[in-house]
A and B are shown apart, each in its own frame.
Chain A
Amino acid sequence: MRSLCLNIPMPAVLSLLLTGCAPQGLYYWGDYESSLYERYVENGNQQSEAYLRSTFTEAEARHRKVPPGVYADYGFQQKDEAIQSASDASVPAQGDGQ
């Protein structure tokens, strides 16, 4: 008789009821929110790309849908890094020429 829902807060129970007891959401979210938290709140970028990558690789492995925008976010991070490393590489070259 002991309900599994005993330790779940009421809003969570309510939302479960409202979504027709769907066991899981439409998407697999993984570490997407962590990647946002790092960039917005901690003003860092160390783990963001890895968080984004693990979000869609794990979603794919579990045959779940990847949340909207995650691939785009990841691609943009990579583009930014490529530009950054290209400009880093060009700095000493300019120095050598002078």
Chain B
Amino acid sequence: MRLLLIPLLAVLLQGCVAPQHHNLDAFYARQSRSIVVVPVVNESPELTADSVFITTISQPLAERGYYVFPVYLTDMILGDFGLVEAGHIHQLPPQRFHELFGADAVLLVTIKDWSTKYLGLASAVVVSMEYVLKDTKTGEVLWQNDQTYAHSSGGGGSLIGMAISAALNALLTDYLPLARQANLLAFQPPKGLPAGPYHPEYQQDKGRF
């Protein structure tokens, strides 16, 4: 019975994403070229989640064809202006990021979940993020998406083996590959980010979003 619950759990976690109606009119109208990723709001119980996550966001975003400001440098510059708290930074008028960086758009990421869930002796590692892209001139939302990625383990084998594997997973859980996968999926069609000006498919992939 417990073993059957694991896939169910995974399905439920994946199923949390609400269906979205994508209106990309503003996105296509603004034709953003550069995106600044500001510090990530962490709503998960894992204190290091935002630090680990921020290392994974530049590559998939830039590979979609946008100029991505170097995240560490961005943090330092925000810090120089006394802006260190992610929750506060997310509340700023998006126009502020045009003043500070000259970026066309700002990406606000909120970590909704970043945890290992146990069900009996099996475990599921889950990461879940909300991505919101805002225009830095008009302040409007250009694009948004939610992405959950889960990896479950410990579904088979002996009870002792499962206990050991669950314990090891708890100690050595590496969320990095999950965050990478979530980002990759979040930017892919149909709900993802259409190709930007540095991508060969720029303005040719509208049919897929």
Q: Which residues of A contact B (CB under 8 A)?
A: 11, 14-15, 18, 20, 25-27, 29, 32-33, 36-37, 39-41, 67-70, 72-73, 76
Q: List 9 A-B contacts (CB under 8 A).
A: A18-B189, A26-B65, A26-B199, A27-B62, A33-B56, A39-B72, A40-B72, A41-B52, A67-B58
Residues of the B chain whose Cβ atoms lie less than 8 Å from the Cβ of A40? 51-52, 54-55, 72
Bound-complex Cα distance A33 to B56 (A) = 7
Of chain A, the residue at the smallest CB distance from B64 is A26
Bound-complex Cα distance A18 to B186 (A) = 13
Q: Is the CB of B73 within 8 A of A27?
A: no
Q: Is the CB of B68 within 8 A of A72?
A: no
Select B73's contact among A14, A41, A72, beta carbons within 8 Å: A72
Residues of the A chain whose Cβ atoms lie less than 8 Å from the Cβ of B201? 20
Bound-complex Cα distance A14 to B73 (A) = 33
Q: Is the CB of B59 within 8 A of A69?
A: no
Instruction: Given A27-B62, A29-B59, A73-B70, decide whether A15 and B188 contact each other with a Cβ distance below 8 A.
Output: yes
Of chain A, the residue at the smallest CB distance from B54 is A40
Q: Is the CB of B58 within 8 A of A36?
A: yes
Bound-complex Cα distance A11 to B185 (A) = 8
Residues of the B chain whose Cβ atoms lie less than 8 Å from the Cβ of A69? 58, 67-71, 73
Residues of the B chain whose Cβ atoms lie less than 8 Å from the Cβ of A72? 70, 73
